[in-house]
A and B are shown apart, each in its own frame.
Chain A
Amino acid sequence: MSQVHLELTRVGIDFPTPKGPFTALKDVDLKISKGEFVSLIGHSGCGKSTVMNIVAGLYQATTGGVVLNGKEVNAPGPERAVVFQNHSLLPWLTAYENVELAVKQVFKGKRSRTQMREWIEHNLALVQMTHAMHKKPQEISGGMKQRVGIARALAMEPQVLLMDEPFGALDALTRAHLQDSLMDIQNELGNTVIMITHDVDEAVLLSDRIVMMTNGPAATIGEILPVPLERPRDRLELVDSRAYNDCRSAVLRFLYEKQKKVEPIDSKRKPRKSWGEKLRITG
Chain B
Amino acid sequence: MMQLSCPWCGPRNVNEFHHDGPLHRRPDPAATTVDEWRHYLYIRQNPHGVVEERWYHAAGCRKFLIVKRDTRTNTVIPAEGEPR
Are A and B physically bound partners?
Answer: no
Which residues of A come within 8 Å of B, CB atoms? none
